[in-house]
Amino acid sequence: MKIGFLGLGGMGAGMAANLLKAGHQLCVWNRSPALAEPLLAQGATLAAEPQQAFDADVVVTMLADDAATRSVVLDSGALASAKPGLIHLGMATLSAAFVTELVERHRECGATYIAAPVFGRVEVAAAGKLNILAAGPLEAIDKVQPLLDAMGQKTWPLGEDPLSAVAVKIAGNFMIASAIEAMGEAAALTQSYGVAPAQFLEIMGNTLFNAPVYRNYGAQIAERRYEPAGFRLVLGLKDVGLALAAGQSRHVPLPFASVLRDNLLEAIAQGDGERDWAALAQVAMRRSGQD
């Protein structure tokens, strides 16, 4: 299967590498071409412009946000140049409003858009162990299932409306941010009583909250290990903003998302924007005078 892959950041590079390992023909594009060099050594070809990557049976995009995706897919003319029948797997976390627009623009061009955002960090992407949400025309999803299998450990089907996958991804990231905030506040409380965050979070991660989010982020918070960033705090702010916008469009109040937005803004103002979003926990420590 001839595949175009656009966006070779921390997540995209690992995903693209797994497609190559599975034997697929890959043409890659990235705004900084140097990031493509390891994939070229593995057999990928380099597209000089996004349009070249869209000369494919399937296009995968893993770009930072709405603005980057709009620039690369729409403003560049790449989608307009695609041949009818193209399937586009949009695997980044995008807004509900923009995905609605993408679905319509693809329909006008005779192409198909599948929303396939993922749960998992950089190391999970490299290992091909992502959990992939998939929503779009079922026949198209069946065609790209081998690609999803190469990049993830499980595909979670969510029907034919791409917005279903968008909503689950946004809501899931909102829950992760909520967990980080709760751990930060609870660790600040217990530390004020002489209990080290490492001890408290180890107890919680092995008893009441024995789940990957609490164990993994709990360890980062306990160790104050926020660099290198697996997921930058500024992107966390973006995703909480997506949750607020999605809720507003359907008249669903998300009061705690507003708290998270303000706390993330405070963290960025304190210089933590490029650190891992687990650094959100430092807001509670600073406020309690224990940082």
What is the set of active-site residues?
169
User: Helix or strand or coil: residue 161?
Assistant: coil
DSSP label of 135: B
Q: How far apart are CA 27 and CA 156, in angstroms?
A: 26
Tokens 């160790």 — which residue? Answer: 223
Between CA 256 and CA 166 the distance in angstroms is 20
Residue 157 vs residues 94, 173, 272: alpha-carbon distances, Å: 18, 18, 36
Percentages helix, strand, coil for the chain (3-state, rounded to 5) are 60, 15, 30
Q: Residue 141 in contact with residue 157, Cβ under 8 Å?
A: yes
The tokens describing 165, both together, are 């996958």
